[in-house]
Amino acid sequence: MNSTHTSNTDALATPTTTTQNPTPAFEITASRQFTPWLAEQHLSLVFTTYQAGKIFFIGVNPQTGQFSVFQRTFERCMGLCASGNSLYMSSLYQLWRFENSLEPGQIYNGYDALYVPQMSYITGDLDIHDVAISGDEEKKSSNGLVFVNTLFSCLATVSATHSFVPLWQPPFISKLAAEDRCHLNGLAMVEGQPKYVTSVSQSDVADGWRDKRRDGGCVVDIESNEIVVRGLSMPHSPRWHQGKLWLMNSGTGEFGTVDLQSGTFEPVAFCPGYGRGVAMWRDYAVVGLSKPRHNKTFQGLPLDENLATKQAEPRCGLAIIDLRSGDMVHSLRIEGIVEELYDVAILPQVRRPMAIGLKSDEIRRMVSIGTKE
């Protein structure tokens, strides 16, 4: 039996149905072993949907044994990065840092992690996609923040005085311009440093990537400036794990690895949806799935043909893939107004997380005292 849960807090509190529209406004359904898997792995999940402007925290309620859903509202939230007690998230024109204010063993209203927004950088609307921390994670220095600045087709970091500081741009991008030329989107870190990026195309003109969606995607090695694989279809979310480079070939619906020697993509699993957002954990990958939009950006992709061949409908939610077999062993399905996800992150050793938002008075009462260093 699957289990169904509805979200609490903010605007998606209660799913509603009408005679004219029998579809719930919002509903999350977990596969039978999804919740036990979270408990066994001692982790929780967090994911974003820019389409609905929500960040969701998925854990286990120790009192009921069912999965817990908590959500907050942040406009166009996208990239996520969990590091220690910190959680970083990009939104429409800001890059946020949340801090878990609870000590180990401490509980707040039944939750064992309480993420409080402690600071944000005003970046302007850069269409920030993936976010990562480089270098010494314990220092939590602003200099360690690295993000994919999709609008300007570069990697960048935050600044105390400017919108961003560029760090690197692909060799095929001739200048920094607010034109989203190639749709740079994904970032893979290796040993704490930026190493690989995904791009939908190698275009060097404004919005040029839109004409290369089907097979113009590539992976670029940041250190050597070499293109290590070509011919991908709207690739996203590269991740380095177990000595391999993994990514979503989103335009085909395939999750797999890149053979860096031959420059080929090797599918491991097919995902019934437009895949974006990947978090790696031991022998598993947590993949975010979206329903393709009915517009030119998502039309005409091999994903449509692959879904038709498998007689499958695209879905929105999370897929847990066993890296050893390529099987989708657990899943979370979302129905209703939320149809697109962007990123997903893992919160190790967290059973049931929540966050403080900015739309209620609760933020005014969240006061903590630090120790003098």
Residue 373 within a domain: no
Asked whether 359 and 117 are in contact (CB, 8 A), the reply is no
CA distance 251 to 237: 13
CA distances from 189 to 134, 194, 223, 259 (A): 8, 5, 12, 17
pLDDT digits (tens, 9 = 90+) for 88-115: 999 999 999 999 999 999 999 999 999 9
Q: Give me the chain's average pLDDT, please.
A: 92
pLDDT digits (tens, 9 = 90+) for 146-171: 999 999 999 999 999 999 999 999 99
Closest CA to 181 of 201, 207, 155: 207
Residue 69 within a domain: yes
CATH of the domain at 45: 2.120.10.30
CA distance 255 to 207: 26
Relative to beta strand 54-60, strand 353-355 is unpaired
Residue 369 within a domain: no
Residue 332 belongs to what domain range?
3-17+24-364
CA distances from 291 to 95, 179, 233, 244, 368 (A): 26, 26, 16, 28, 41
Domain total of the chain: 1
pLDDT digits (tens, 9 = 90+) for 13-39: 333 333 455 556 889 999 999 999 999
Closest CA to 238 of 226, 252, 225, 250: 250
Residue 158 within a domain: yes
What number of residues does the chain have? 373
- pTM score, two decimals? 0.92
Single-letter residue type at 252: T
Residue 322 within a domain: yes
Q: Is the dihedral of CA 221, 227, 228, 229 positive or negative?
A: positive
Residue 372 within a domain: no
| pLDDT at residue 14, as a whole number | 35
